[in-house]
A and B are shown apart, each in its own frame.
Chain A
Amino acid sequence: MAEADVQNLEDFLATQVLDPWKGPKKVPAEEYFTSGHRTCQGCESAQLMKLMAKAGGPRSIVLGATGCMYVANTTYYSTPWQIPWMHTQLGSTGSAATGTAAGLRALMRKGKMKKEPINVIAVCGDGGGVDMGLSAISAALQHTQYNLLILLYDNESYANTDIQVSGSSPYGANTTFSTPGKARRIMHRRWKKNTAAMLAAGHPECKYVATVCTAYPVEAMNSVRKALSIGGPTFIHSLDPCPKGWDYDPKYSHELGEIAVETGIWPLYEVEDGKLKMYGRSKRIVSGQFKRRPVREYLERQGRFAHFTDEDIEFFQAKTDEMWEKWLLPGVIPFAEA
């Protein structure tokens, strides 16, 4: 009984095999997220949803926590989803993924539902993932018997509720809860949480944690495909430039993502089966083949930093330099050896 049970459990860990797409021209035509959403012009989070749906394919279920990708993206009779989607509460991304995966697994295991690997993807913004839902995401990453992906679309503020500061907002950013005033220029003094690395370090059984940026769509899709194929709970953190909250011309959505990576502000990496791999420009930054662009080129392009003085920019630069020059694992794990 015990052995059969173990075998049974193993069987139900099977996943879909989603091979990487080798280049943009190999990406298939089929879309599973189209139109109907009411997001901003140049919304990179909507773009991420499109890429994610494409990467996961038709045998997927998506759970969406409260945030822009719920309120702006999925409204009554205005759904953009071709695959099943369900709302979940702001702090419930981890729970939604766990519950959906557990429900499917129980039904298949007991013969109440046709047995097949179904992708379970739960998405949340930084409010849902970095702040309120962190505890449930951490729990979800511990339940290694469930195949699920938690995708954090980080636009660095509670952009949906009118742009309030979150634990993922960059230092000094102007938000409606940290508006610079006559007496205080910098209202938001917290440094952005290092969420992906924290989750990778804290959940050694989790087989896949990655950072992505929508400016690199093929890489982002392949990351999703790997996360869904590898088995067990997985986590991807995406930096999504937000024309509304960051205050920039929407046409620069793609470019600002690139600059975030090239300035070293957003490192791209995967932790796969316990092994860290930097990729893209970030890999070349670590190897010294690419010189990081000054953060000024990033900050001055966004209205949310328009109040920055040279001193603020220098501070931001110094903190970013620290990530790459002082950290134990550059761009990923802080603290130096004592």
Chain B
Amino acid sequence: MSTASVEVVYRGIFQKTMAKNICRGVVLAARKEGKIGIAFGRYSDSPERNGIPAKQFAVVSDSEEELEEHLSRYEPDNNDVTIVADDTLCKGVESWAWYGLQPINKLLGDGGTLVVTSTQSANKLIKTIHRKGSPYDLAIVKAAASFSGLWVYKDDHTDVRLLGALAKVAPHIVSLDSITKAISEQWKDESKVASAMKAYDMVESTPVGADQGSDAEPFSFSMPGWTKMEEGLVIRGIDQKPQEVPGWDGGYVPSRNPTFKKFSTRTMRPVINFDTCTKCTLCWLSCPDTCFDITPDGFYDANMEACCGCGVCEAVCPVAECVTMVNEEAFEDNDSQWEMWTKDTAGYAAWLTEKIADKPTRSHGFHHVGQYAEEIADESR
């Protein structure tokens, strides 16, 4: 193989610097082997938005001529490795750059490797990933998703650990030796080199069969051509009539845009304790995504097709633990919590307790000056 490409799928803004470090690291390491390459972000993802899935790429070739065909492309589509910087992206990504939900392994070439940072088991992750139809490997770097900000980077070595893992799963792109040399030159920090080497040793690969994975059909949108599009740059607005949902008479479910759902942005979702809810309206009133449906009995039910998991509802709720943000990986569907609660109040209470208890820490980025240094100290302890 004379040209190889690495795709990095990450959370916009929060992981932008990390993705850039990885892609640059690949190209600079490949350079040590006399190869030539480019690192780039998918142009249509930019300007990035917080949490919205985005991509960056590294393409390396043996010669400039071989590289040329990649120099004017937005998105390589037959990647040797797809790095997934946050395991909640495994459910599929809906980004700026296309319409519909793209399975996380869609642009991974046959026999390629999906490298995911996760604290979950391979078997659990595979269940959330769409079935590819051809075999590939799943490699897990044991780590929580590293979210930092735009201006303050959380340098917890996740970037170099992923580079170390890459050298293990795809030595034909870059060797560990080249990776460590590049890291050493770039950061002048031997502890980062050590982190990369450790990840090289620790990364575990699992073969994934062609038929393994989720059989859910990713939602899609078929783009009309110019004879079907309205002229004058006109599109129809969203229907002003609320949706008619069986069992919701007397409630209010606003009509929503069917082409962009935004839920793949979510890394945490609010779970609501309807037993303690006082119907104060603040979650509903403060949601920037208009995601709360009003139930027939006057509760506010976060619609999981529209919620992007910002956490404002939890922050504004005046009742302790009435709204709790829980790791998105704990959920397998986007079903209504209120419907679940009305069907089986006791069952819902048990479900709620379990979801809240099983709550691996997830961060949304910057909280205060000095925070990342404290977190890194905690993590290394």
Contacts and interface: CB of A to CB of B under 8 A. Distances in A.
Contacts of A24: 280-282, 285
B291 A251 contact: no
Interface string A222-255: 0000000000000000000001110111111111
Given A217-B286, A218-B285, A254-B315, A40 B52 contact: yes
Contact of B366 (A30, A58, A247): A247
Contacts of A30: 242, 252, 254
A78 B237 CA distance: 9
B256 A36 contact: yes
B297 interface: no
Contacts of A82: 237-240, 254-255
A80 B369 CA distance: 36
B302 interface: no
Contacts of A12: none
Interface residues of A, number: 62
B151 A36 contact: no
A174 B99 contact: no
Secondary structure at the B interface, as helix, strand, loop or mixed, is loop
Interface residues of B, number: 60
Given A35-B260, A36-B238, A82-B240, A244 B13 contact: yes
B13 A31 contact: no
A78 B52 contact: no
Contacts of A300: 368-369
A323 interface: no
B255 to A, nearest CB: 7
Interface stretch (B42-50, B57-65, B85-93, B173-181): B42-50
A135 to B, nearest CB: 26
A76 B232 CA distance: 12
Contacts of A39: 49, 288
Contacts of A333: none
A250 B367 CA distance: 10
Nearest to B13: A244
Contacts of A31: 254, 290
B71 interface: no
B10 interface: no
Contact of A253 (B51, B151, B252, B312): B312
A36 B315 contact: no
B50 A40 contact: yes
B237 A79 contact: yes
Interface of A: 24-25, 27, 29-44, 46-47, 50, 58, 71-72, 75-85, 159-163, 174, 217-218, 243-245, 247-255, 300-304, 306
20 contacts: A30-B242, A30-B252, A32-B240, A34-B256, A35-B289, A40-B51, A41-B310, A42-B310, A43-B50, A77-B221, A78-B257, A79-B257, A83-B240, A174-B151, A247-B365, A250-B311, A300-B368, A303-B365, A306-B151, A306-B369
Q: Which 7 A-B pairs have the closest CB atoms?
A: A36-B257, A251-B311, A40-B50, A42-B310, A41-B310, A247-B149, A47-B288
